[in-house]
Amino acid sequence: MVPNRAPGAVLATEPAPEPAPAVDVLHGRPVPDPYRWLESADSPETLRWLEERDREYAEQARTWPLRDRLAGLIRSLVDTDLWSPPVHRPGAVFATVRPAGSEHPRLVVLTGDGPPRTVYDPAAEDPDGHTTLDAWEPSPDGGLVAVQTSSGGVERGSLRVVGAGTGEPVGPAVPGVRYSHVAWVPRGAPAFYYVRRDGARGVRGVWLRRVSDGAETLVHACTAPGTVPGVRVLGDRWLLVTESHGTGHRTDLWLADLAGPADAPQRPLLRAVQVGEEAETEARLGPDGLLYLRTTLGAPWRRICAVSPEEPGVGHWREVVPEQDGATLDAFAPCPAGPEGGTALFVARTRLGISAAAVHDTRTGGLLYTVDLPGEGMVSTPETAPDGSVYLGYADVAAQQRILRLAPGERVPRPWPPGAAEAPPSPAVERSVVWCRSADGTRVPVTVFTASGRGRTAPGTGLIPEPTLLHAYGGFGRPRQFGFSATVLAWLLSGGRYAVAHVRGGGDAGRDWHLAGSGRRKPRAVEDLVAAADALVGSGMCTRDQLCLSGGSAGGLLVLAAATARPDLCGAVIASAPLADMARFERMGLGRMWTREFGTAADPDDFAALMSYSPYHRALEGAGSEPGPRFPSVLLTGFHGDTRTDAAHPRKMCAALLAAAREEGCPPVLLRYERDVGHGPRAVSRAVGLAADAHAFAAHRTGLSPR
């Protein structure tokens, strides 16, 4: 697929003037920035430059022999019905479904035994496929649904209320909303809480909005910079307000009783649950009326505590489920203990990307029973229904996500919705773990997948080197979970290996693992990835030329940093929507929100750490040296509507790498640039095209040739 250019876009034809190079002086150090002009996304100079990149990309992509084959294989693997976990309301069940062959999921409601009825379909509103359904929440009685949509990938759109029976708008819409939590007031005239994250339309914080006329009241203001507000209503009574201080670092929580005076929704009396603690905490209400909290407070692998919502402060917390060394407690849901009554906790833990689930007694914290999952995969979004059943998502490397229902007291979850077909047989995939030592001696695990039955060994010689993708993310404390990826499965079925480095900065080994690779310690994550690549080559799994690093967003930063630090490390790099210019990341996209993760250029010590691995500046150094380093072939992807990392990063990185690749025969540097999409969800056909192109590039550069 050739990347799309905006309809009607006109490129200037006259010769472009040479843009003036910029140089900043930060903490006494000159910091050159010759491609700052590429931060202007729609200037004539940038448009002309992008036209050249589009032409170069199209010429190269035509030479990749597996491009069409991978696209067809990936498309066949995603051509299934895909449901979300259901949300129950009186007499109705809401969910999204993306039917096989559809571009986007649509919101439906199930009542009785009849077929699903569509409440909102983004394709009906926008047949061109640029509009996405970002979030939704039905009212307590199920008569109304708050629907959030955006267009062009900008992830900032409108929040509107529609009738569940008609799909027609009710009351005025809220413009400029970005992935807002929505929490309905449990009684009285229809009204809901929502959050303003960026302050573009007034004070940042939690607002109460009346559906009929759009009248609004501020109920909680965010005063600290760089915080993200959140809101929930628990048990149709308790208002939970949260503030996240730096993604994956710290959460403050407050609770208010909405069952008090008539004006309680407008003037909630918020009491601290956890404020000022360096811990991540998530709260849910159990059927016994207690508040259950999954927290890193005093438990880097996470534990669950219980407290009365009447006195919710930290001093009253009681540990219910202790942390388990070596396994991150990723998700939980309070539920009935069984037919005899009582309250239990469904708990999902992840160990090196693989989930295990169990049900625990809330009185003792002891194990009641383990849950039999379909295989080695990922559990996500467990939610408890009114009948006490827990609904959860499950997927693994070889099986598309399905929704499972675990009835009270049962150990084996069953497929949902009713009548859902059993999952078809999945291709057999083998998993192994390789350990490597990073520069400071820390042992770092690397998970490796291969398709069973592929000839991977030769008699008397051990492993046969195969083209290998090495993926890493290593940011924001997110543990890597091995759910379904049609792209990964297509790569495996084509004869390649797929590896994931569980580097520091991620959450694969608890909160301490995250903090050990964040801020000024972020270079450790880069060193971990370098060690993982060396280990794969040293073990005989692949050669340097057969190795392709792959990462997106914060992972894109990581793979670029590793490749520019060690140009001999691999044969190719895929960096999708990456961060790259770490001297100016705070000025682009949502970078100002990420100083807890990466540090800030305003601090001299943080700045020194940032510049030690900033890929853009490493590439500039290579462009200015004689002889310059020979960087591997790089495919960067950029999305014009990207409001998270900002497409200026891949544009500038591409320009710097092109300047460094000035010798005859240097590996190609390519930019695949798209408009009308952003960092988040997109139409299926465009997702398939992106995945197929990226991995056809990897196949071409690493010599993958399906047997």
Residue written as tokens 């992807």? 637
Q: What is the pLDDT of residues 289-301, one digit of tens each?
A: 999 999 999 999 9
- C-alpha–C-alpha distance, residues 173 and 157, integer Å: 10
Distances (CA, A) of 668 to 35, 53, 420, 565, 636: 19, 11, 47, 18, 11
> Can you tell me the mean pLDDT for 175-191?
93
User: How does pLDDT run across 315-366, given as a tens digit for each residue?
Assistant: 999 999 999 999 999 999 999 987 777 899 999 999 999 999 999 999 888 9
Q: What is the pTM of this model?
A: 0.94
Rounded-to-integer distance, Cα 447 and Cα 492, Å: 14
The pLDDT of 222-250, averaged and rounded, is 92
pLDDT of residue 421: 59
- pLDDT the model gives residue 522: 98
CATH of 26-75+438-468+517-702 among 3.40.50.1820, 3.40.50.300, 3.30.930.10, 3.90.1150.10: 3.40.50.1820
* Model pLDDT, residue 17: 58
554 Cβ neighbours under 8 A, 6+ residues apart: 473, 474, 475, 476, 505, 579, 597
Cβ 417 vs Cβ 403: under 8 Å: yes
pLDDT at 248: 74
Span 266-278, average pLDDT:
96
Q: What is the dihedral of CA 618, 623, 626, 629, to 10 degrees?
A: 60
Average confidence (pLDDT) over 549-576? 98
Contact call for residues 110 and 92 (beta carbons, < 8 A): yes
**pLDDT above 60 for 471:** yes
- For 493, half-sphere exposure in the C-beta direction (CA atoms, 13 angstrom radius) is 19
pLDDT grade for 454, boundaries at 50, 70 and 90: low
Query: Domain-by-domain residue ranges, the chain?
Result: 26-75+438-468+517-702, 180-278
Tokens 């056909």 belong to: 685
Torsion of Cα atoms, 485 then 491 then 495 then 496, to 10°: -100
Q: What's the average model confidence in pLDDT over 226-243?
A: 95
Pairwise CA distance, residues 603 & 518, whole Å: 15
**pLDDT interval class at 7 (50, 70, 90):** very low
pLDDT at 8 exceeding the cut of 60:
no
pLDDT for the residue 249: 83
Residues 193 and 207: beta-carbon distance below 8 Å:
yes
**DSSP symbols for 295-318:** E-TT-TT-EEEEE-TTS-SGGG-E
148 neighbors 135 (Cβ within 8 angstroms): yes
Query: What was the pLDDT predicted at 2?
Result: 35
Mean pLDDT along residues 469-474: 97
Q: What is the pLDDT of residue 13?
A: 40
